[in-house]
Amino acid sequence: MSLTLLYVQTLNGLQLGILLFLIAAGLTLVFGVMDFINLAHGVQYMVGAYLAAMFAAMTGSFFLGLVLALASALVFGLVLEFLVFRHLYSRDHLDQVLATFGIILFLNQAVKLIWGAAPLSVPIPDVLTGSVRLMDGLLYPVYRLAIIGSGLAIALGLGILVSRTRIGMLVRAGATNAPMVSALGVDIGKLFMIVFGFGAMLAGFAGAMVAPVLSVEPGMGDNLLILTFVVIVIGGIGSVRGAFIAAILVGLVDTLGRSFGPALLAAIMNPSAASQAGRALAPMLIYILMAAVLFFRPAGLFPVRK
Amino acid sequence: MEKAVTHIPETVAPPAFIRREGVPLILFALLLLAPFVARFFAESYLLALFSRTMIFAIAALSLDLILGYGALVSFGHAAFLGFGAYGVGILAAHGVSEASLQLPLALASSALFALVTGALSLRTKGVYFIMITLAFGQMAFFLAVSLAAYGGDDGMTLPSRSRLFGFDVLEDDRALYFLILLALLGSYLVSRAIVMSRFGRVIRGARENPQRMAAIGFPLFRYQLTMYVIAGTMCGLAGFLLANQTGFVSPAYMTWQRSGELIVMVVLGGLGSLHGAILGAAAFLLLEEWLSGFTEHWKMIFGPFLVLVVLFARGGLLGAFRRLGIGGAR
Amino acid sequence: MFAKPTSAKTKLMLPALALLLATGAASAQEKLKVGFMVTLSGPPAVLGQQARNGFQLAVKQLGGKLGGLDAEVIVVDDELKPDVAVGKVKGLLDRDKVNFVVGPIFSNVLLAIHKPVVDSETFLISPNAGTSNFAGAQCHPNFFVTSYQNDQNHEVLGKYAQDKGYKKVFLMAPNYQAGRDSLAGFKRHFKGEVVGEVYTPLNQLDFSAELAQLAASKPDAFFTFMPGGLGVNLVRQYRQAGLANTIPFLSAFTVDESTLPAQKDAALGFFGGANWAPDMKNPASEAFVKAYEAEFKAVPGTYAMQAYDAALLIDAAVKSAGGKLDNKDAIRAGLRKADFPSLRGKFKMGANGYPVQDFYLVQAIARPDGLYATSLRQKVFEDYVDVYAKDCKMAK
């Protein structure tokens, strides 16, 4: 019984990890290649979810909605890039923090004005509504398998894109030494624009994919943003592989710690103290993990060599 | 804290002096006059608004010490606000409302937290430093949330403001206002003394070229850690005052959003000038108050305003002033 | 439910209301000012909007007057930050010189603004938050609540589970004060076995791990308190995990008119506890629901109802004091008497300033018009006095 539960919880941990990776992938690219702290990544994820909700309701089809949401997330990202971000690439991190903080304030309010403050939802597409039986009395929705599948596909695709293609080579080179790439005659402005647009689209994709599972509401990206930063920092900024492994690690530590931590603590202290300590520690776990990783490896697990 | 160690060269000619010290002089003169003007309007509201502004000015000032002068971007600075505030709250919950006990506890716990987390965080650089300070800030936040005996997530109301040696003088809003003003002036003068001292020059040198400063033989880690502890303690003072001003202690004082707002205040005002941080805190809070009076959707104005400041006013508000010919060099 | 134009609507309404007030002000000698402080930013903004809409609807229906005096309602957002709330409430008291403060939604904001308001001899009327401390030992003659004591809705489910004969329950709530109070409230009347008691972090997104634990412990029923977006996530995931068909879902503040528009079919049949539901059978309530839906294109929840009642309570109290706002004692007596036609049918103000009222089991339904709402199922408590009232030293 308890072993089954362990398997199920491990699966849940993997699933949370993949969800985090979906959001972190775009951020680590933008951060790594452009050395740009984009606090607005979380609101771009939110906008993706809202767009998916709107288009899915308009067209009546989740997949059509997804495609339209992706396209408009890309356009939206490029507009943001044109208006704000491209003027900030050469600025220091703090200017970027201030400007993207302003964008967060604006967009969180804007979605409330456009779509209302009440949470929205997107129905699960019909072909993916089934479920598999995991254990006695517990079903696992096929849609969640689809999320896991799409996360793995993105991880694989990005891996190939970054390590095997010319644009990937430029991206890697840009992450290591952007001025040198520029000196070699590559239009760095265009490269940055492509990477940024791509990152925005990935954020939008993550938002659209989770919309059938999580509630779509103003500010939904704010707390995830911090989790995402935790993931890319543990992984090593700019490393897609690092982000993937760190996301899985964070997902597992969080889920397993939450579900088995109190029981483990109860083995070494009295039950009420264990439950107290468990409750206090559970939300801190991933931050403790990050602090520990950075203590031993100050540039993350897979540092990109500079 | 109120050692008035200023390093104003006495031979400076008046125009240069005004250019150099104009902004801070005007700022403090306005803050000194504010309560007398406030008497003719909604006094306790205006006093509360300006008191709150000055408290965040102290917090922003302390962040500027490490952020502006040391290029150490702490994303967990609000934790110290919490330590300061809980120093008041926890003792008050046990019936101790004496400032001469609460203040030392508030400052000592902030300093200790700064010492421990600073020692661990300063091993990392750049963005990794930002994130590890965030991690410690979040741990402090969740710790406060789990303190069920002290209100947990809801926080707790203080039975009274702190008493000064048994006297309840601080119950008067004006007295509290002047205490906060004094604390701000003291923090400002101490900070100036620090950044102009040899110690401060080393920190600034490390901002420009850490390898070189280390090569010259300065134990940079120890210098930076000292600065981090000073900044944390000063922010603890702000937390002590915040608890008294609001009469309330809550984990909401230490969220990561609050840490982010402190960074925004410093950058908005202008990095590395001390009075820029005060200006930034004032601009941030007063704009928020003013705009939110107009419309519920004030963030749709405030957000783009921040973006415009970054795009067009390099060096924050102070940079903009400087280009307009007001205020002087750093 | 998409692209709901509520905010646009309210924006249109505000100037109209202001105009109404401005024209009336010229003739009136005295004016009544209400500071209305709720949370209007962040994810919980929807609750604050419901309350604001409910209150403004009442004022509008009373012809822009409260207690016969021209009323000015100043709406402020507490941003769910206690220190911001303290600053703004001082502005209401001192700059705007309001006669009543109505608010807030959340308990932590209430704890922060309570002292400044009641100390200034202004009446504080909470349309939602009702903490245990102010119901008991720290009760105050200037503080009134039109909602409930926080524990009560949870007690409804505990009592129901006990009466229904459930032997084993699994409990889950967010890890904060209200969450702990919620489960304590449930256990006050439930005497069976608690096979699991889980506290989740406040920003938790995914409940897979907890639902697995829940399924593994095979309870007779599940009780939870997951307000706002948390509830939307939990309800849909509960349904998707196939648990909805096997383990009854009992909840408080999890399945209501603020979350149902997003939960939709996933929440159908789920239970909650409340002091009112939109299908309550009395003329006042039916008229209110109709007017609210026409005005705001959404189904009102208890947040809107309680704020509406708060306006009626003020109206009745000021009338009973003959419109003399300076006569605090007379107004206080009026507030205690609470002689107004509550949407709940019957309503009594308890000695501690908290309501004495009936509580019901409610269930989520889909209405014929395609909207979702809660519906009354059975009365669980009659004239229920909160358990802290006995600690209140205030004489009636």
Q: What is the band of C1 on the pLDDT scale with cuts at 50, 70, 90?
A: very low
Residue of B nearest to A101 (CA): B303
Compute and round to an integer the Cα radius of gyration of chain B. Answer: 19
Question: Is residue B1's pLDDT more than 50?
Answer: no
- Beta-carbon count within 10 A of A202 CB: 29
Token digits for B73? 């971007």
CATH 3.40.50.2300 domain residues, chain C: 6-148+280-349, 152-274+360-384
Mean pLDDT of C123-130: 94
Of A230, A237, A291, the CB nearest to B120: A291
**Is residue B281 within 8 Å of residue B60, measured between CB atoms?**
yes
Is A274 a member of any domain? no
Using CB atoms, which residue from A88, A113, A298 is nearest to B125?
Answer: A298
Q: Which of A297, A225, A283 is nearest to A254 (CA)?
A: A283
> A129-142, pLDDT tens digit by residue?
888 887 777 888 88
The CATH number of domain C6-148+280-349 is 3.40.50.2300: yes
**Contact in structure between A67 and A127 (CB atoms under 8 Å):** no
Q: B292 to chain C nearest CA, in Å? A: 8
Q: Which residue does chain A place closest to B305, by CA atoms?
A: A102
Cα atoms in the Cβ-side hemisphere of radius 13 Å centred on A136: 11
Query: Nearest Cβ partner of C241 from A15, A119, A138?
Result: A138
- The pLDDT of residue A95 is above 90: no
Judged by CB atoms closer than 8 Å, whether chains meet at A121 and C237 is answered as: no
> What pLDDT score does B326 carry?
58
CA distances from residue A144 to A94, B174, C207, C217 in whole angstroms, order as listed: 38, 59, 13, 23
> CA C339 to CA C315: how far, in whole Å?
10
- Helix extents (H) in B247-274: 256-269
Rounded Cα–Cα distance for residues B234 and B216 (Å): 30
Burial of C112 (0-12, 13-18, 19+ CB in 10 A): buried
Q: CB of B156 within 8 Å of any CB in chain C?
A: yes
pLDDT number for residue B37: 84
Query: What is the predicted pLDDT for the residue at A71?
Result: 95
* Residue of C94, C139, C150, C200 for testing the chain B interface, max B β-carbons within 10 Å: C94
Give the pLDDT score at B18: 62
Run of H or E residues at B99: helix B99-121
**Strand partners for A252:** none
> Domain spanning B14-323 has what CATH number?
1.10.3470
Assigned CATH for C152-274+360-384: 3.40.50.2300
Domain hosting A67: range is: 8-218
Of C185, C187, C119, nearest to C148 (Cα)? Answer: C185
Work out whether strand C348-349 and strand C355-366 pair parallel, antiparallel, or are unpaired.
antiparallel
Site from C210, C240, C257 to mutate, A interface, most A CB atoms within 10 angstroms:
C240
Of C159, C154, C192, the C-alpha closest to C173 is C154
> Chain C contact for A50, CB < 8 A?
no
Please give the DSSP secondary-structure letter assigned to residue C38: E
Helix (H, G, I), strand (E, B) or coil at C375: strand
Which helix (DSSP H) or strand (DSSP E) does residue C102 occupy?
A: strand C100-102
The answer to whether residue A60 sits within a structural domain is yes
Q: Do A98 and B310 touch (CB under 8 A)?
A: yes
Kindly report whether the peptide bond that precedes residue C104 is cis, defined as omega within 30 degrees of 0. yes
Nearest to B267 among A95, A106, A229 (CB): A95
| Cβ neighbours of A161 (radius 10 Å) | 16
How many angstroms separate the first and last alpha carbons of chain C? 46
pLDDT in tens, A225-277: 888 989 998 998 888 889 999 999 999 998 888 888 777 777 777 766 777 77
**Measured between alpha carbons, how far is A244 from A231 in angstroms, rounded to an integer?**
8
User: Concatenated DSSP letters for B129-172?
Assistant: HHHHHHHHHHHHHHHHHT-GGGTGGG-EE-SSPPBBTTB-GGGS
Backbone angles phi, psi at C173, to 5 degrees: -155, 160
Q: Which tokens go with A196?
A: 């940024």
The model's confidence at residue C334, banded by pLDDT at 50, 70 and 90, is very high
Tell me how long chain A is: 306
Calculate the CA dihedral of residues A99, A102, A108, A112 and round it to 10 degrees. -130
Q: Which residues pair with C70 in a beta bridge?
A: C31, C65
Helices (H), C124-243: 132-135, 152-164, 177-189, 208-217, 229-240
Torsion of CA B8, B9, B11, B13, to 10 degrees: -50
pLDDT at position B39, please? 80
Rounded to two decimals, the ipTM of the complex is: 0.84
Is A128 in the C-facing interface, judged by CB distances under 8 Å? no
Residue A145 lies in a domain: yes
Average pLDDT over all residues of chain A:
86
Question: Measured between alpha carbons, how far is A241 from A249 in angstroms, rounded to an integer?
Answer: 12
pLDDT band, very low/low/confident/very high, at B74 (cuts 50, 70, 90):
very high
Interface contacts (A, C; CB < 8 Å): 157
**Does residue C64 contact residue C311 with C-beta atoms inside 8 Å?**
no
| % of chain A at pLDDT higher than 70 | 98
Q: Do A9 and C46 touch (CB under 8 A)?
A: no
Task: Check residue B313 and give its pLDDT.
Answer: 80
Residues B205 and B214: their CA atoms lie apart, in Å, by 10
What is the mean predicted confidence (pLDDT) over B111-130? Answer: 90
> By CA distance, what is B155's nearest residue in C?
C108
The alpha carbon dihedral of A191, A192, A197, A199 has a sign of positive
Which chain C residues are Cβ-neighbours of B52 within 8 angstroms? 83, 87
- pTM for the predicted model, two decimal places: 0.83
DSSP code string of chain A: -HHHHHHHHHHHHHHHHHHHHHHHHHHHHHHHHH----TTHHHHHHHHHHHHHHHHHHHS-HHHHHHHHHHHHHHHHHHHHHHTGGGTTTS-HHHHHHHHHHHHHHHHHHHHHHH-SS-B--PPPGGG--EEEEETTEEEEHHHHHHHHHHHHHHHHHHHHHHHSHHHHHHHHHHHHHHHHHHTT--HHHHHHHHHHHHHHHHHHHHHHHTTTS-B-TTHHHHHHHHHHHHHHHH-TT-HHHHHHHHHHHHHHHHHHHHHHHHHHHHHS-HHHHHHHHHHHGGGHHHHHHHHHHHHSTT-SSPPP-
Instruction: Please report how the helices B220-246 and B43-67 are oriented relative to each other, as an axis angle in degrees rounded to 10.
Output: 170
Domain count along chain A: 1
Closest CA to C355 of C145, C185, C182, C152: C145
pLDDT digits (tens, 9 = 90+) for B233-278: 999 999 999 999 988 898 989 998 899 999 999 999 988 888 899 9
How far is residue C390's CA from residue C140's CA, in Å, rounded to a whole number?
14
Name the residue among C3, C209, C228 with its Cβ closest to that of A115: C3
Q: What is the pLDDT of residue C6?
A: 37
Instruction: Report the alpha-carbon distance of residue C158 to residue C223 in Å, rounded.
Output: 8
